[in-house]
Amino acid sequence: MKFKEFFYFSKSDRAALLVLLAVGILAFLLIYGIGRLNDKTDPVSTDSQNLRKMPVSSRKPTRSREAQYYYAAPERKEERFSFDPNTADSTQLLRLGLQPWQVRAIYHYRAKGGIFRKKTDFARLYGLTVKQYRELEPYIKISSDYLPAAEVYAEKNKKVPFHRDSIRFHEKFGPTERILLNRADTSQLKKVPGIGSYFARQVVNYRNRLGGFYSLDQLAEIDDFPMESVKYMILDAESIRKINLNKLTLNQLKRHPYINFYQAREICDYRRLKGPLRSLDDLRLLKDFPREAIERLRPYAEF
C-alpha cells in the first residue's frame, strides 16, 4: 500500500491502523528488552555465588544480615566449689559447668533411688566426659551418710599407730555425771563411756541434719550406737531447730532425715494445688505420709 493511498481510508480506519502499528512497535520493544536482560548475568545470583566461594573470614555481610553471621552467644562461666552429687540442686550443678541434660540425668537417677556412694560413681554419669570428671573430681564431697558401710566400719576400726609420747586418754564421766545431748560437741561426747571419736562424729552429724534430738531413742537410728551410753545424756528439747514446710523447696525438704524425695514432692504438690499447709493433719490423706511418719516429723515442723 502506497503512502498516499492511506488517505483514501476513512477516519476510523486510519485510527485503527495507527493503533495496530503502535501495538506492534511496543511488542517488538518488549521482546527485544527481555532478550537483552536474559543475556546479562543476574548480579544478585552472582553475588550469592561469590559469597559462597569466599572464605568465612573475608565475607562482608550486609547490614540486614550482619547479626546472623556475627552474633555470638555469651559463654557461661564455670565455677568450682565443693558439692555433694546426692544433694546438689540444679543451680549448683549448672554453675559447675554441667549441661542441662546432664543435670536432668542426675535428677532422674536420684529420683529412682540412686545414690552416689563414692566419687567414681559420679564418673558413670551419662554423657560426662573424662575432662569434666577430672576437673570436678577434687570438689566432690560425699556426705558420710551416703558412704559404703564397709568404709565407715574400716574407719571406725582403723588402728592408730602407737606413739608413747602422744597417747591421749579421754577422761570418762562418772556414774552421776550427765551431758546435754543437743549442745555437746565431739570432745564432750567422747567423755561419755562407750562413745569414741567415730560415734561422737555420728551423733553431731545426725543431730545437725535433724535439727536436734527430741527423744533419746532417736540415737538408736545411728547404726550400732551403744544405747547403754544414753543414761549419761539429758535432753534439752527447747533447742530443736524447726523447718517451715511452707517455705522450703523440694531439695531443702528432702535433706531432712524424716522426709524422703517422694514425701517432699507431695508437700510441694499440695502447696501448689491447695495452698499453704496449716498443720501436719493436712498430710494425712497423702499416700506417702502414714501416721507414723507424721508423728515422727511433728516436733520439727512449723508453718
Distance CA 43, CA 189 (A): 88
d(CA 77, CA 94): 10
Q: Spell out the per-residue pLDDT of the chain, length 303, in tens.
A: 555 565 566 777 777 778 888 888 888 888 877 766 655 555 545 555 554 555 555 555 554 454 444 445 456 678 888 999 999 898 999 999 899 999 998 998 888 888 888 888 888 888 888 888 888 999 998 888 776 666 555 655 555 454 444 444 457 888 888 999 999 999 999 999 999 999 999 999 999 999 999 999 999 999 999 999 999 999 887 789 999 999 999 999 999 999 999 999 999 999 999 999 999 999 888 889 999 999 999 999 998
Query: pLDDT value at position 164?
Result: 41
Please tell me the distance from the alpha carbon of residue 126 to that of residue 43, in angstroms, as a whole number: 52
Who contacts 109 (Cβ-Cβ below 8 Å, separation ≥6)?
Answer: 125
Bridge partners of residue 180, in order along the sequence? 234
Would you state the pLDDT for residue 75? 61
| Whole-number pLDDT of residue 67 | 47
CA distances from 112 to 179, 193, 263 (A): 41, 41, 14
Q: What are the grid coordinates assigned to 210, written together?
A: 535433724
Q: Which region, left, alpha or beta, applies to residue 127 given φ > 0 means left and ψ of -120 to 50 means alpha?
A: left
Q: pTM to 2 decimals?
A: 0.45
Phi-psi category of residue 188: left, alpha or beta, with phi > 0 → left and psi -120 to 50 → alpha: alpha
pLDDT recorded at residue 7: 58
Ordered DSSP codes for 65-84: GHHHHH--PPPPPP----B-
C-beta of residue 61 within 8 angstroms of C-beta of residue 69: yes
Where along the chain do its domains lie? Answer: 90-148, 179-234, 250-298
